[in-house]
Amino acid sequence: MQRRALICGISGQDGAYLARLLLSKGYEVWGTSRDAKNNGFEGLKVLSIFDKVKILSMSPEDFCSVLQVFSEVRPHEIYNLAGQSSVGLSFEQPLETMSGIASGTLNQLEAIRIVDKSIRFFGAGSSECFGDTGGLPANESSLFRPQSPYAVAKAASTWHASVYRKSYDLFACTGILFNHESPLRPERFVTKKIVSAAKRIASGSNEKLKLGNIDIRRDWGWAPEYVDAMWRMLNLDAPEDFVIATGVSQSLREFVQVIFEEAELDWREHVIADPTLLRPSDPLECIGDSAKAKIRLDWRPAVVGAEVPKKIFHDSFSIM
């Protein structure tokens, strides 16, 4: 029987790459967006798969909307990638962030309980839940110390999935995903902002790239590899939560330097600090330990460290 997957939030970076992966494995792929008629679905179009997926409108905060879509599609697997995805924006829109992420997850789990308890559920968690790891890699046993409204919402979503897994015997799991990037990121993400600015400057622009704290350190990975981990999680015999990370951290300063070097530029001549871009609270360092994923999922990242910004920069030319 052909497997049927529903990707909630298919218009984002991860949704596009996951859809491509599932199609390559022979899945029938459905996706949702808040307003399917007015969404450009650029990621799906860039990957040349827009006409191969079926799209529906769904508002994760509206239980009736979720229930209607789940009842219509009757998927075997659900990947919840929906919700506001910017840490910075969550300080400006804390209520919308909590509602879209935490309430959205709860609505989906409850709909599964009503429609079909055999549906397998993946929830996209976040390394932001750990806060500042202090240079020590966080794993599945590490405590959550969220430092932003976004992180609080993601922590609540992770706990929602755990409660439904234990209380109703649902196949519900969370991938605690560390930062993962690609050319499909929108401009509001700092990695895409850096790459776009470097390309413009290399083409003759006299602009200055304005950044906040460039001393923060993050565990950056390659998005196509992370969606593979999602699929592997839903194909285990039993549901488990996993940290998905490279285990290598680099500072934003180092990330900028690599990008500008690839553009044959000296970043120090083109980057300036902008205090207005500083967040009210921002973990200094966050790094993950995915040893469990390596053993249980046979998952290992191939693109790590400085190779991540290099690949983002060079692959961005192929999607223009």
**Which residues form the catalytic set?**
126, 128, 150
Q: State the angle between helix axes of 104-115 and 149-168 in degrees (0 to 180), rounded to the nearest 10.
A: 20
Contact present, 285 and 134 (Cβ < 8 Å): yes
C-alpha distance across the termini of the chain, in Å: 37
- Indicate the DSSP class of residue 319: T
- Residue 170 is which amino acid? L
Q: What is the 3-state secondary structure (H, E, C) of 32-61?
A: EECCHHHCCCHHHHHCCCHHHCEEEECCCC
Query: Can you tell me the distance from the alpha carbon of 100 to that of 315, in angstroms, rounded to the nearest whole number?
Result: 31
Location of structure tokens 């490279």: 246
Residue 115: both structure tokens together = 């429609």
Phi, then psi, of 173 in degrees rounded to 5: -140, 160
| 3-state secondary structure (DSSP) of residue 106 | helix
In degrees, rounded to 5, the angle at the alpha carbon of residue 110 between the alpha carbons of residues 107 and 114 is 135
The tokens for 41 are 């679905």
Spell out the residues 6+ positions from residue 95 whose beta carbon is closer than 8 angstroms to its own: none
Distance separating alpha carbons of residues 237 and 316, to the nearest angstrom: 37
Distance CA 11, CA 15 (A): 6
Contact predicate 108/64, CB 8 Å: no
41: left (phi over 0), alpha (psi -120 to 50) or beta: left
